Amino acid sequence: MDPTDILKQVAREVATCEKCELHFSRKNAVPGEGPVNAEMVFIGEGPGFHENEQGRPFVGAAGKFLEELLAKIGLSRQQVYITNVVKCRPPGNRDPKPEEVEVCTNAYLERQLQAINPKVIITLGRHSMGLYLANAKISDVHGQALRVKGRLIVPMYHPAAALHQASLKPVLENDFARLPELIARAAEAPEQSEPIHNEPKEPPTQLSLF
């Protein structure tokens, strides 16, 4: 199937999905949005209040900060793909349960990533980081480019965390500032067909590519 059609098909399925219990309390499922040829995919945790109201990702306070971070590296949100680990709002903004993450990512996020095939995946917060780096500490690995499961991952703090803890704001800004160079260097790095680490055993800092 054409990648554009895959994204459309995923969005259609997400809109009426009942594969996990999050569908009971959602108002609007939030599949994600952005161009199919985006170089970067940002993965948050799950829709919050405003996202659930509007059916669009990162439209609340965290989204505004994400847009500011993108603007500082010369990008608008229209140029990147933005989505979440789970597509329906966990009630009361609770953490998504492991079984919800499992069923939702297998059904949808994996297909979105295959269709877009981005140069880099930026995980925002520990839930999306956990898809690739189960045992990593975000304070150790944030801002590093890591090759995991055949993909280039850059874990970052969640923008909402910086709204609660001001000291994280410059950390996120610094990590974003490195993204253009990481992408340029990734283009030069040899392709690796084999996943290097599904469950990294060594300290995550040794996984750093650059």
Binding-site partner at residue 51 among ligand SF4, ligand URA, none, CB < 5 to 8 Å by type: ligand URA
Binding residues for ligand SF4 restricted to 74-133, rule: CB under 6 A:
86-88, 100, 103-104, 107
Radius of gyration, CA atoms only, the chain: 16
7 binds ligand SF4 (CB under 6 A): no
Determine which residue in the list 34, 48, 55, 155 makes contact with ligand URA, applying CB under 6 A.
Answer: 48
Return the H-helix or E-strand segment holding 40: strand 40-44
Nearer to ligand URA, 101 or 160 (CB): 160
Distance, CA of 69 to CA of 104 (rounded, Å) = 27
Determine which residue in the list 34, 52, 58, 101 makes contact with ligand URA, applying CB under 6 A.
Answer: 58
Binding-site partner at residue 48 among ligand URA, ligand SF4, none, CB < 5 to 8 Å by type: ligand URA
- Taken in order 9, 56, 96, 39, the sign of the CA dihedral is positive
Name the minimum Å distance from CB 193 to ligand URA. Answer: 31
β partners of residue 124:
156
Identify the three-state secondary structure at position 11.
helix
Distance, CA of 194 to CA of 158 (rounded, Å) = 29
Nearer to ligand SF4, 97 or 185 (CB): 97
Q: Are 55 and 65 in contact (CB under 8 A)?
A: no
Q: Which residues bind ligand SF4 (CB under 6 A)?
A: 14, 17-20, 22-23, 29, 86-88, 100, 103-104, 107
